[in-house]
Amino acid sequence: MSAHPAILSEDQRDCYQELTNVAMGQAADRLARLLDAYVVLPIPRISVIESSELNMALQDAGNDSSVSAVCQGFIGSGIAGEAMLMFNDTSFASLAKLMQYTGPLDKHAELELLMDTASILIGACIHGIGEQLEIHFNQGHPVVLGQHCDMNDLLKHGNNGWDRTLAIEIHYTIEHANIECELLLLFTEESVKTLNKKIDFLLD
Partner 1 sequence: MSQGQIEITDIHWLMDILQNIDVGLVVLDTDYNIHLWNAFMDSHSGISPQVAKGQNLFDLFSEVPEDWFRNKAEPVFQLKTRTFTIWEQRPYLFKFRNSRPITGRTEFMYQNTSIIPLESPDKRVNHICVIIYDVTDTAVGRLDINQAQETLTEIQSQDALTGLLNRTSWLPVLENLCSKEAQHAEPSSLLIIDLDHFRDLNRELGHDKGDEILKRLGAALQTLGGETHGARLGGELFGLILKGKDATQAVSTAERLRRSIATLNKGSTTLISASIGVAGWHPSVTSAIEWLSCADKALYHSKESGKNRTTLYQHKQPD
Partner 2 sequence: MTLNVLICDDSSFARKQMARALPPEWTVDVHFAGDGVEGVAAIKEGKADVMFLDLTMPNLDGYGVLEAIRREDLPTMVIVVSGDIQPDAQDRVKALGAMAFIKKPIDADKARTVLAEYGILTEA
Which CB, 32 or 111, lies closer to partner 2? 32
For CA atoms 183, 187, 192, 198, give the dihedral sign: negative
Which CB, 14 or 116, lies closer to partner 1? 116
Q: How far is the CB of 28 from partner 2 (least distance, A)?
A: 6
Site residues (CB under 8 A) for partner 1?
30, 72, 108, 111-112, 115-116, 119-120, 123-124, 127, 139, 141-144
Alpha carbon distances (Å) from 41 to 109, 112, 163, 166:
27, 24, 30, 21
Q: How far is the CB of 39 from partner 2 (least distance, A)?
A: 6
Q: Which of partner 2, partner 1, none does residue 120 bind to, with CB < 5 to 8 Å depending on kind? A: partner 1
| Strand, coil or helix: 155 | coil
Site residues (CB under 8 A) for partner 2?
11, 14-15, 17-18, 21-26, 28-29, 32-33, 38-39, 41-43, 132, 202-203
Q: Which of partner 2, partner 1, none does residue 56 bind to, with CB < 5 to 8 Å depending on kind? A: none
Q: How far is the CB of 118 from partner 1 (least distance, A)?
A: 8
CB within 8 Å of 63: residues ≥ 6 apart = 88
Which CB, 48 or 99, lies closer to partner 1? 99
Nearest residue to 74 (alpha-carbon basis) of 144, 135, 158: 135
Which CB, 108 or 157, lies closer to partner 1? 108
Q: How far does the chain reach from its first CA to its final CA, in angstroms?
A: 30
Q: How far is the CB of 100 from partner 2 (least distance, A)?
A: 19
Q: How far is the CB of 46 from partner 1 (least distance, A)?
A: 24
Angle between helices 10-35 and 189-203 (to 10 degrees): 100
Total residue count of the chain as it appears in this document: 204
Nearest residue to 71 (alpha-carbon basis) of 129, 139, 15, 136: 139
Which CB, 38 or 56, lies closer to partner 2? 38
